[in-house]
Amino acid sequence: MIPARNTPRDQFTLESVGVVMQADPALPAEAWGVLNPASARTTDGKLLLYPRVVAEGNFSRIEIVEVEGNGEFPARIERQGYALEPREPYEHHLRSHGGVEDPRVTFLRPLGIYVMAYVALGQHGPRIALAVSEDCRGWKRLGLLTFKREANVDWSDHGNKDAAFFPDVVHDADGDPCLAVLHRPTYLVPRADGRVEKVLPEGVEDDRGSIWMSFVSLKDALTDTYKLTSTYHSTLLATPEADWEALKIGSGTPPMLTSSGWVLYYHGVQGKEPSPEDPTKNVCYRAGVMVLDRHDPRRILYRSALPVLSPESPHELQGVVPSVVFPTALDVVGQRIFVYYGAADSRVALATTVLDDEILIPPSAPESAGTYA
């Protein structure tokens, strides 16, 4: 049963349980922190995290970390190399050296593969790129996500972040079976003369960062995996509403299907970003939750009025960017869910809750992993 919209507190509220991973001072690749991980369960049930690790100069890689524990809190982590390091032209920037950042991993049930959506920081700013894997360890790049031009906008020209795929088939506006991906365009377009312009689609007046949904042809993706990068029917899903998310919102964990619908943990930002007129930055990142209709995920059935996780502990309040909780990964064990998040842009932390709803499809685990009811 879906609670009434904007119920203050509910089963989705998360309890922070502590830090899972911090930077190793002996590793130069982690000099500026480890944060914002993806997660996945392998076919034999092992839990892997994919944190963004940041070297001097804000140069980011995506690491592979195996997690061992008793199902409640990780007892040990083991670094096992890198899933991705900046290699392609779209992952390099002349001034900042570029990077690969903030991954989300989804197990695509119709294709039987894992897809990683990540931020490629290239010469024209952040863009969304994809890589796929059959075993969670070896990743093959597919390239940048592309968008069909609609409503006078091609999102391929815009900065874009916070992408995550749904794990199973949904239907587009025409009722056709498809795959879906969430993303957060910046609305900013770099021009050849060095200017950056803000461009909004026709009919959109709110220029704050918001969550969009685009679709991928299921038929095409089943024929050619590279077609996962080709999207159409981009739709505005959600804009900032509450005071705690007044600056912008963005998707967080890949969606999880429950008996109530698709559950999505997302982030909301309050405060002030730096500008040419005032370079100071004073922001607070919190987490909220939405439930989307199972059959038409463009419909929001429920959205938390209050955050379900806020920065309160020292590891969330103090760091490279203070006062940040940034959810990016969700693991399922029975009816308990574990949300991994970046804390203060410096470390990886964990929060948890037990759901009353039946969990039907976890976002990042095949059925053979055996981690859910």
Q: How far apart are CA 108 and CA 321, in angstroms?
A: 33
Place of tokens 């950056």: 196
Quick check: 135 and 41 in contact, CB under 8 A?
no
Look at the chain and report how many structural domains it folds into.
Answer: 1
The 10s digit of each residue's pLDDT in 244-300 is 999 999 999 999 999 999 999 999 999 987 776 677 779 999 999 999 999 899 999
The answer to whether position 4 is within a domain reads no
pLDDT for res 3: 39
Radius of gyration, CA atoms only, the chain: 19
pLDDT for res 70: 56
Quick check: 328 and 252 in contact, CB under 8 A?
yes
pLDDT for res 369: 76
Torsion region of 100: left, alpha or beta (phi above 0 gives left; psi -120 to 50 gives alpha): beta
- CATH code for the domain of 61: 2.115.10.20
pLDDT for res 98: 77
The answer to whether position 146 is within a domain reads yes
Place of tokens 């299921």: 218
The answer to whether position 1 is within a domain reads no
Report the 3 state secondary structure along 140-199. Answer: EEEEECEECCECCECHHHCCEEEEEECCCCEECCCCCEEEEEEEEECCEEECCCCCEEEC
Which structural domain range is residue 69 located in? 15-369
pLDDT for res 150: 87
pLDDT for res 60: 95
* DSSP annotation string for 261-325: EEEEEEEEEEEE---SS----EEEEEEEEEEE-SS-TTSEEEE-SS-SB---SHHHHSSSSSSBE
The answer to whether position 156 is within a domain reads yes
Quick check: 128 and 163 in contact, CB under 8 A?
yes
The answer to whether position 160 is within a domain reads yes
Q: How far apart are CA 299 and CA 238, in angstroms?
A: 10
The answer to whether position 6 is within a domain reads no
Residues linked to residue 286 through DSSP beta bridges, in sequence order: 268
Quick check: 157 and 288 in contact, CB under 8 A?
no
Q: How far apart are CA 114 and CA 116, in angstroms?
A: 7
Quick check: 34 and 344 in contact, CB under 8 A?
no
pLDDT tens over the chain, length 373 residues: 333 344 434 789 999 999 999 999 999 999 999 999 999 999 999 999 999 999 998 899 999 999 987 556 777 899 999 999 999 999 998 776 779 999 999 999 999 999 999 999 998 889 999 999 999 999 999 999 999 998 888 888 899 999 999 999 999 989 999 999 999 999 988 887 778 888 899 989 999 999 999 999 999 999 999 999 999 999 999 999 999 999 999 999 999 999 999 999 999 999 987 776 677 779 999 999 999 999 899 999 999 999 999 999 999 999 999 999 999 999 999 999 999 999 999 999 999 999 999 999 999 999 877 654 3
The H or E element that residue 329 is part of is: strand 325-333
Give the N- to C-terminal CA distance of the chain in Å, as an integer. 19
Cα dihedral across residues 285, 287, 288, 290: positive or negative: positive
Q: Helix (H, G, I), strand (E, B), or coil: what is residue 81?
A: strand
The H or E element that residue 320 is part of is: none
- The half-sphere exposure of 25 on its side-chain side, counting CA atoms within 13 A, is 0
Cα dihedral across residues 185, 191, 197, 203: positive or negative: negative
Can you give the pTM of this predicted structure? 0.94
Q: How many beta carbons lie within 10 A of that of residue 137, not counting itself?
A: 15
The answer to whether position 132 is within a domain reads yes
The answer to whether position 104 is within a domain reads yes
Residues linked to residue 329 through DSSP beta bridges, in sequence order: 340
Q: How far apart are CA 165 and CA 220, in angstroms?
A: 16
